[in-house]
Amino acid sequence: MTDYGHDLQFGVFVTPTAQPVQHAVELAVAADRAGLDLVTFQDHPYQPRFHDTWTLLSYAASRTQRVHVSGNVLNLPLRQPAVLARAAASLDLLSGGRFELGIGAGGFWDAIEAMGGRRLSPGQSVQALEEAITIFREIWNPAERGGVRVDGEFYQVRGAKRGPAPAHDIPIWLGAYKPRMLRLIGRKADGWLPSLGYLPGGATELGPLNEVIDEAAVAAGRSPSAVRRLLNVGGQFSAQSTGFLNGPPEQWAEDLAGLTLEYGVSTFILATDDAATLELYAAEVAPATRALVAAAR
Amino acid sequence: MEFGTSITPANGGDPVALARRSEELGFDLVTFQDHPYQPRFHDTWTLLAWVAGRTERIRLAGNVLNLPLREPAVLARSAASLDLLSGGRLELALGAGGFWDAIEAMGGPRREPREAVEATEEAIEIIRGMLDAGNQTPFRYRGRHYQVPNAQRGPLPAHNIPLWLGALGPRMLRLIGRKADGWLPSLGRVGVDGLRAGNKLIDEAAEAAGRDPSDIRRLVNVTPDVPLEILQTLEADTLILYTDDVSEMERFAAEVMPVLRATNRRPTRPSWVRAKRRDGIDYDGVPASADAVEPGDIDFPRLRSTYLRGGNPGIVLRPRTTGDVVEALAFARRHRNVPLGIRSAGHGVSGRSTNDGGIVLSVARLDHVEIVGDRRIRVGPGARWADIARALAPHGWALTSGDYGGVGVGGLTTAGGIGWLARKHGLTLDHLRSAEVVLASGQVVRVDAAHSPELFWAIRGAGANFGVVTDFEFDVDEVGDVGFAQLAVDGSDPAGVLERFGAAVEAAPRDLTAELIMSRPRPGAYATILAVVDSDDPETIVSQLEPVASIAPLLDQRVVITPYAGVMANAGDADHDGQGEPAARSGLIEHLTPEFSAAAEELLRSGAVHFFQLRSVGGAVADVDPMATAYANRAANFSVTALGGSQHRLDALWDRLLQPHFTGSYLNFDTDRRPERLRDAWPPEHLARLRDLKRRYDPDGLFRDNFYLGDS
């Protein structure tokens, strides 16, 4: 039973399909107009049915006004961290502070290797991600003197110039499920971004996993509330309630408010490729959830 | 000659506004240098994507992208995405790198000059290979600097993205001649004489490699202070003005561009595109109005095939107006030696709208949908039924069509149109009131009951033989929300399911039109029933569905009340990628008798059929006199279609088991080209009348590739 006290945010997780070409962009625009906080795209650079996610994020940000954009989550093994840091700062500046860095250690190693990426073991991928996080933060910090030096096992940066400073403090959110990654989140990340559908036991699994993050944060001298808890969710709107996130908007609001109050989830990212669903989510579920949480806090 | 700007991507400046201004001033291209190690600059790739989202027409390029810090395989995927998102406006200009201390500081490699050239050559191969998405095989590459063990190619860009290189040294210039699409130096560094010498070296290397030097674009960055007289002497196809000063851009656009624009026209297509041309087609004689796509063009993979059938046509013509169709058919008349396919949206199961080495005339661009009166519309042959349903919905109207929203108007209407409202409102062609037809002679006629009534008769059921219809005028029906049901029933007793389905549908009110889909029976097999009830009343819908839902144990159900447009919104916008030759047969039958049902079960158990579908006709379809249109088989209550893996095997079984039960056939769903199919489709009186009309309207057999009525 943990509520970290964060303000609630609502976003969508859109399939970055390359055909129809503008599908994902149109949904990003719809999310923006509907008043959602966040639009996200998965990143599988080995998948030609999808747009390149970095390109899509930049283009979608240019076509929207207020909504924030993030990978869900970017594929580190196929993206050069120092260049990615500079690109992230650029996109944040161009968009007036609307970029968030959702990033993962990679998971489909056959496909990554097929594209020319380096195959890493689980432990190695966590270390590589930690090195990358250091590079990101150093590049984004021009207030520090001297060039960026990271002599990592997987990534080396030898005196790269710092900057530019992004328009806002870009949070780093990690997709993760295993203890070593969760501890890394507690030590160094700004958010945890799992998918509810990947938790075999459902929402109740969030509790123990949160504890791993919280303990690692405390051990590193950080408050657990320094880590935002995000969650990819899926469901169906229907007139009758038939289960968790399957029912009318008011039931959705109760289900999501429960996740906030019991498990500390504060950003809900709905997987959908349907504009009407997205609009209903923004218009009815988001305000009702906020109201329920505010009343209970 | 083309013109571009090169803008500093400074994050303290406003490169986006300068790019937009470039576009307003009429520049063709906007470029940004790429130095990922330079924090005063935006990341160039991110900026290119952002500018793509804030501009409409101007093309975009790095000047030049820093290859050592951008992995070529991911860069290729990124380039395809940005080209698609921007509507075909990305060009790739690459550099081998030069500031090695800064590159290495960022975590990139340090390369000697020879290594840099070598790596660039590898990157070109990788990018080209990844973008060759018309090639279905995986892309594999093992170089000294880059490896791509087994990547999937694609996505297919919107246009053929050229690869231009910034280069100075002779080794790189020779690489450009051998492999690149363009050369992009800066005049300030090479000088006028250096430009000429570099071009000569490129030309020599191109010729040595068997390439046409004119396939290689020559671009050059120039500063505002270069006088017009010098610019006029440059051996260049594109001048890129290097400035962040708007007034210099304006001066250049006003004073330099008009003078230089009216020069050198290049051949429209490069030699490597021309190399893929097929014998028997006069590519130089293609009318400009046809907006043709050749086998070597980037759009060819998008257009070569239909929904089910793989194709390899020699040319695809894409007219936009009736006049364009006249010109396209004139071109086709000059090519009697190759096949001719006419295509609306390419969904015909028969696959007649593609071919090998011939002409495809696509009317997809004649896609207007206009409401011209009370329950009266005009549509183009390339309009898709989902779009028509959506356009009619606000009026409370609908026009029955097929069962799939992605199908085009032209092919479906001229053959029949068996859809979700058939039992209540008849065939699509029963709603046709007039049509504009381009005949084999090139003459354009407007046909209706009073004008060319014989031709009007013929195109309603045998349209593929008589012309290209460029405009259809329809009466539509008043249709509110409908019930749409998707039911799964136990499919282990196919004969029983068929027999009971047939009886239930024949007994049902006309508000109900249903489909049954079956496959090979095995334990756990189910049959799918899809049904529309033309009512928005839940009780009516349920009561009308109950008999068809009871033909076998119900396993799953989903019933919604939706606008008719919601039923038709079942198609995506993806390009067709059919492969091989589909094997399909179709028939029309009055009753699903026990004998027919047993024979169908035997066919299904054989494993020769992977898709077996029955659609309802009857009802309003049967109200029309069989002689009123060329669609003859009005008495049938069901259309039967099967898809298999082998035409020969399917034919043998179909001929023996099912053919004796049929009273007709629906040719759009048939791939059997044997001449007796004509006799199945049309009774003797219809067939004789059609052949007379064929001799009158198409005596030379221009329309010969889709169940040809000539030669009898």
In a domain, B316, yes or no: no
CA distance A57 to A70: 7
Q: Domain end: B261, B293, B308, which one? A: B261
CA distance B150 to B145: 16
Sequence letter at residue B9 = P
**Tens digit of each residue's pLDDT (9 = 90 or more) over B139-169:** 999 999 999 999 999 999 999 999 999 988 9
Query: Would you call B85 and A45 a contact, using CB atoms and an 8 Å cutoff?
Result: no
Would the pLDDT of B712 be above 90? no
Asked if residue B278 belongs to a domain, the reply is no
Q: Which domain holds residue B131?
A: 2-261
CA distances in angstroms from B558 to A41, A242, B155, B470, B646, listed in the order given = 30, 14, 35, 39, 34
CA distance B539 to chain A (A): 18
> How does the average pLDDT of chain A come out, rounded?
96
Which stretches of B267-307 are DSSP H helices?
A: 271-274, 300-303
The 8-class DSSP code of residue A243 comes to B
Structure token pair of residue B360:
């495809």
DSSP reduced 3-state for B88: coil
- pLDDT given at position B467: 97
Burial B450-481 (b: 16+ CB within 10 A, else e): eebeebbbbbbbbbbbbbbbbbbbbbbbebeb
Question: Which of B47, B54, B78 lies nearest to residue A52, judging by beta carbons?
Answer: B78
Once rounded to an integer, what is the mean pLDDT over residues B284-309? 94
**ipTM for the assembly:** 0.97
Question: Which residue of B53, B107, B158 is in closest CB contact with A59?
Answer: B53
Contact in structure between B238 and B217 (CB atoms under 8 Å): yes
Residue B262 confidence (pLDDT):
74
> According to the model, what pLDDT value does residue B168 have?
86
Minimal CA–CA distance to A103: which of A201, A185, A220? Answer: A185
* A43, A55, A56, best to mutate vs chain B, most B CBs in 10 Å: A55
Within-domain flag for B254: yes
Residue B535 lies in a domain: yes
Span A156-207, pLDDT tens digits: 999 999 999 999 999 999 999 999 999 999 999 999 999 999 999 999 999 9
Residue B249 lies in a domain: yes
Tell me the CATH number at B197: 3.20.20.30
Residues B442-496: tens digit of each pLDDT: 999 999 999 999 999 999 999 999 999 999 999 999 999 999 999 999 999 999 9
Angle at B465 between CA B460 and CA B469, to 5 degrees: 60
Alpha-carbon span A24 to A26, nearest angstrom: 5
Length of chain B: 712
**How far apart are alpha carbons B697 and B699 in whole angstroms?**
6
Beta strand spans in B449-540 (E):
468-475, 477-478, 482-490, 512-518, 526-533
Task: Please determine, for residue B263, whether its predicted confidence score (pLDDT) is greater than 80.
Answer: no
**Domain positions in chain A:** 9-296
Confidence of residue A1 (pLDDT cuts 50, 70, 90): low
Which residue type sits at A14? Answer: V
Residue B264: predicted pLDDT: 55
User: What is the Cα A219 distance to its own chain's centre?
Assistant: 24
Q: How many CB pairs under 8 A join A and B?
A: 166
**Percent of chain B at pLDDT above 90?**
92
Long-range contacts of A53-57 (CB under 8 A, 24+ apart): A53/A16, A54/A79, A54/A84, A54/A87, A54/B45, A54/B46, A54/B49, A54/B78, A55/B45, A55/B49, A55/B78, A55/B81, A55/B82, A55/B85, A56/A16, A56/A24, A56/A25, A56/B81, A56/B85, A57/A91, A57/A99
Q: In total, how many domains does chain B have?
A: 2
Q: What is the CATH number of domain A9-296?
A: 3.20.20.30
Examine residue B491 and state whether it is found in any structural domain, yes or no. yes
List all residues of chain B from 67 to 96 with a beta carbon under 8 Å from chain A.
69-71, 73-74, 77-78, 80-82, 84-86
Q: Is the pLDDT of residue B114 over 70?
A: yes
- B694, B710 contact by CB (below 8 A): yes
Share of chain B above pLDDT 70, in %: 99
- Quote the CA–CA distance of B142 and B146 in Å, as a whole number: 7
Chosen for mutation from A93, A94, A136, A148 (greatest number of chain B CBs closer than 10 Å) is A94
Q: Which residue has the higher pLDDT, B54 or B259?
A: B54
Helical H segments across chain A, by residue range = 23-34, 53-62, 81-94, 109-114, 122-139, 179-188, 206-219, 249-263, 275-280, 286-296
**Tens digits of residue pLDDT in A25-65:** 999 999 999 999 999 999 999 999 999 999 999 999 999 99
The mean pLDDT value for B367-385 works out to: 96
Mean of pLDDT values over B632-658: 96
B307-334 pLDDT per residue, tens: 999 999 999 999 999 999 999 999 999 9
d(CA B357, CA B615): 35
Q: Mark yes or no for CB contact A164/B39 under 8 Å.
A: yes
Q: What is the pLDDT of residues A212-270, one digit of tens each?
A: 999 999 999 999 999 999 999 999 998 888 899 999 999 999 999 999 999 999 999 99
The answer to whether the beta carbons of residues A145 and A138 sit under 8 Å apart is: no
Is B345 within a domain?
no
pLDDT of B524 over the 90 cut: no
> pLDDT band at B265, cuts 50/70/90?
low
Question: What's the pLDDT score for residue B572?
Answer: 76
pLDDT tens profile B614-644: 999 999 999 999 999 999 999 999 999 999 9
Measure the CA–CA gap between B423 and B622, rounded to whole angstroms: 9
From B414, B420, B407, select the one nearest B435 (Cα to Cα).
B414
Interval B527-555 mean pLDDT: 96
CATH code: domain of residue B517: 3.40.462.20
Q: What is the DSSP string of B629-668?
A: SS---TT-SEEEEEEES-HHHHHHHHHHHTGGG-SB--GG
Match 């990305």 to its residue by tokens. B90
Give the confidence band of B267 by pLDDT, cuts at 50, 70, 90. Answer: low
Residue B176: inside a domain: yes
What's the N-to-C CA distance of chain A in angstroms? Answer: 13
Indicate if the pLDDT at residue B206 is higher than 80. Answer: yes
Residue B272: band (very low, low, confident or very high) from pLDDT cuts 50, 70, 90: confident
Mean pLDDT of chain B: 95
Tell me the C-alpha distance between B345 and B618, whole Å: 27
Decide which of B261, B282, B305 is a domain's last residue: B261
Residue B609 pLDDT level (bands cut at 50, 70, 90)? very high
Residue B490 burial (CB < 10 Å; 0-12/13-18/19+)?
middle
Q: Is a pLDDT exceeding 80 seen at residue B573?
A: no
Confidence of residue B348 (pLDDT cuts 50, 70, 90): confident
The confidence score (pLDDT) of residue B575 equals 82
